[in-house]
Homo-oligomer: A and B are copies of this chain.
Amino acid sequence: MEYPSKSLENLIEALNRLPGIGRKTAFRLALHLLRAPAAETRALSQAIGQLQETTHYCTTCGNLADTTQCRICANPRRHTGVICVVAEPQDLLAIERTGQFGGLYHVLGGVIDPLAGIGPEALRVAPLLERAALPETTELIFALSTSLEAETTAFYLARKLEGYPITLSYIARGIPVGSELEFTDELTLARSLLQRIPYSAKAAGE
């Protein structure tokens, strides 16, 4: 297809490379940017241009950060004894949004996936073992998804952490809050049965 101007074509092609942005959406966005206030397009252009240079990874937990330490590790009010192990920074953010976790995180940077050529050495496993050996560490919570790769990763880590004087746990799998029992898939339902928890007035009331 022939575009009316070279600069529009350049932008459409650049936008089209983004995940989930097809040609039509790219074109619509480009036309929007063409008419948007100059300050808005400048802000977007600069934000994209500066992103990689100004974003760092926390040397402790691997989370995205402004400097060498992320905001969570730098927060003195966070509980340093419990470390929540996640695959990616977006998983960390999902847990933060719940507002239910006051400990620290450890971002692995992915999960073990032999088919994609990702072995344990590609993940931040060694720093995790170091942190697990710290005297203040009491518990690691695996907050990984339910994929085969994620379960393999949890299994691998649990093996590596054998003998450490810490508690290992993982987030519960079960029927999602608000979902109907009859429409829950069999695997999830089976798991929620196997991993049933003692009914107590406290748990029911909360």
Contact = CB atoms under 8 A, between A and B. Distances in A.
Interface of A: 1-8, 10-11, 13-15, 17-21, 25, 27-34, 36, 38, 40-52, 54-56, 63-66, 70-72, 89-90, 92-93, 96-97
A88 B65 CA distance: 43
Contacts of A25: 20
B7 A51 contact: yes
Assembly of this chain: how many copies? 2
Nearest to A19: B32
Instruction: Tell me which of A30, A49, A97 has the highest count of chain B C-beta atoms within 10 A of its own C-beta.
Output: A49
A7 B55 contact: yes
A18 B32 contact: yes
B18 A65 contact: no
For the complex of A and B, 7 pairs with smallest distance between CB atoms = A45-B49, A4-B64, A11-B47, A7-B54, A14-B44, A45-B48, A10-B47
B4 A70 contact: yes
